[in-house]
Amino acid sequence: MTLFLSGQPVCRRLLLLGVFCTAGLLSSCSNNSRTPIKLLRVARILPTNEKVTPVESSRSRKRLSSFQNNLWDVVPGLRIQPALYSEASVEAELERQTFSGLGPDLVMGDARVIQELSEAKLLDTVPITPEQRNAIAPGLLERVTNSRGEVTGLPVSQYIQLACFDKRRLKEPPATLALMSKQSGEGQVFGITQNFEDLYWSMSGYKAGSALVSSLRGQQPTAEQTQNLVRWLSWLRDASYQQNVMFLRNQATLRKQLIGGQLHWISCWTSQLPQLREAMKDNLGITSLPAGPAAPATPISKLQVWGLGRNSSARQRETAVELMQFIVQPWAQKTWSLRYRTNYPVNPAAATIINRQIPGIENLYIFKGKQEIKIGDEIVAAIDGNPRLAKTIQNIINDVIFGAKTPTKAAERLQTVLSPSS
């Protein structure tokens, strides 16, 4: 979370407080010396395949505590009661809590998990105000809108995919997939996860996403689009055969092996930079992902979303809504991104500020291929809204990586399962 207001002069805080009062973002701007406590139970969900560890639990509590303490000017009396869950356990745990009347007020996780919890009837839909709708990029709202047109959660920030490497072992990170293949043959060891969302950057380098989007729209992909998809799947198969390119199950394993020296380069997410920086210090290198033969790498973003729990009292719901109103405004979005440099804003106005203020932004936040980004968002929105489809696609990708299905057969199967008539 972000230290939104720390370090500001008292007069500045009072001025901000007055602005928020005028804007109606505070539930009360009272002269009473005693501020009522506003308790929010907050459940945070770790990314795919991550496990809850004592270290991660401590880190999460500290960040939520900082978030709480520095929002007292915005929501006086705010108290956060945090809990951390793995993606694998969260649905069963929230179901137990919700049915006993003790579920969380806010749930923080990526878009796909929030959609799944909403479909399981463990979250209330989010009433998006016109102000919030104007503050969030439209394509991002589509990723949290279900088939009934309901918004299942509020987009708050985005994690972006990068390449992380050990400067001691890899002097020059590969700018292209061809160079990656060459360097792997020379003894450099590369790590990639086999999860579909972690592989989109390589798909965009072949312009292979267009075939999937055409299928999603009920259209027949062109021969060229299908061929691009086959080429990308062929690259996956060929890369998996290379001795020094490792396809691993999850990001946690990649990070552990990069830190331990078994891997020299990995695909990573901005959310993981604090842990890597802490372990590797100045030896950590960060760069853009390698371009493909047809286009630069254009990673999708991992959308971070706030959902509303079902057991909130009227006061708790009011407090949660206050936070949601505040968190997507440009000032909050800008401060969050600049403070940690791990999140990219969902607010276009804040994104413009970030792009100006962070040196080397083109190397960190890669938003050049606008068409490829739109294609990626459409694919991810379909997968986020359909967990069964996500599993089917992942199984097809796994079959290609491990040689159980040819690229041509896999391309045909992907187009079939993505078609609305399937």
Domains and CATH numbers, the chain: 10-158+302-362 (3.40.190.10), 161-300+368-418 (3.40.190.10)
Give the pLDDT confidence score for residue 13 in this predicted structure. Answer: 37
Q: What is the mean pLDDT of residues 246-268?
A: 94
Give the pLDDT confidence score for residue 19 in this predicted structure. Answer: 39
- Does 307 score more than 50 pLDDT? yes
Q: What is the mean pLDDT of residues 49-64?
A: 76
For 261-270, the pLDDT digits (tens) are 999 999 998 8
- Does 159 score more than 60 pLDDT? yes
pTM of the predicted structure, to 2 decimals: 0.72
- Does 227 score more than 70 pLDDT? yes
Give the pLDDT confidence score for residue 57 in this predicted structure. Answer: 77
Q: What is the mean pLDDT of residues 304-333?
A: 93
- Does 278 score more than 70 pLDDT? yes
Confidence of residue 48 (pLDDT cuts 50, 70, 90): low
Q: Give the 3-state secondary structure of the chain.
A: CCCCCCCCCHHHHHHHHHHHHHHCCCCCCCCCCCCCCEEEEEEEECCCCCCCCHHHHHHHHHHHHHHHHCCCCCCCCEEEEEEEECHHHHHHHHHHHHHCCCCCCEEEEEHHHHHHHHHCCCEECCCCCHHHHHHCCHHHHHCCECCCCCECCEEEEEEEEEEEEECCCCCCCCCEHHHHHHHHHCCCCEEEECCHHHHHHHHHCCCCHHHHHHHHCCCCCCHHHHHHHHHHHHHHHHHHHCCCEEEECCHHHHHHHHHHCCCCEEEEEHHHHHHHHHHHHHHEEEECCCECCCCCCCCCEEEEEEEEECCCCHHHHHHHHHHHHHHCCHHHHHHHHHHHCCCEECCHHHHHHHHHHCCCHHHHCCCCCHHHHHHHHHHHHHHHCCHHHHHHHHHHHHHHHCCCCCHHHHHHHHHHHHCCCC
Confidence of residue 225 (pLDDT cuts 50, 70, 90): very high
- Does 106 score more than 50 pLDDT? yes
- Does 88 score more than 80 pLDDT? yes
Least confident of 258-267, 324-333, 351-360: 351-360
Q: What is the mean pLDDT of residues 119-134?
A: 94
Q: Which residue has the higher pLDDT, 71 or 247?
A: 247
Give the pLDDT confidence score for residue 118 in this predicted structure. Answer: 95
- Does 81 score more than 60 pLDDT? yes
Q: What is the mean pLDDT of residues 399-405?
A: 95
- Does 10 score more than 90 pLDDT? no
Residue 79 β-bridge partners: 39
Q: Is 228:206 a contact under the CB 8 Å cutoff?
A: yes
Confidence of residue 273 (pLDDT cuts 50, 70, 90): confident
- Does 385 score more than 90 pLDDT? no
Mean predicted lDDT score pLDDT of the chain: 84
Least confident of 38-52, 100-114, 224-238, 249-263: 38-52
Give the pLDDT confidence score for residue 4 in this predicted structure. Answer: 30
- Does 15 score more than 90 pLDDT? no
- Does 369 score more than 70 pLDDT? no
Q: Which residue has the higher pLDDT, 90 or 336?
A: 90
For 175-218, the pLDDT digits (tens) are 999 999 999 999 999 999 998 888 988 998 999 999 999 999 99
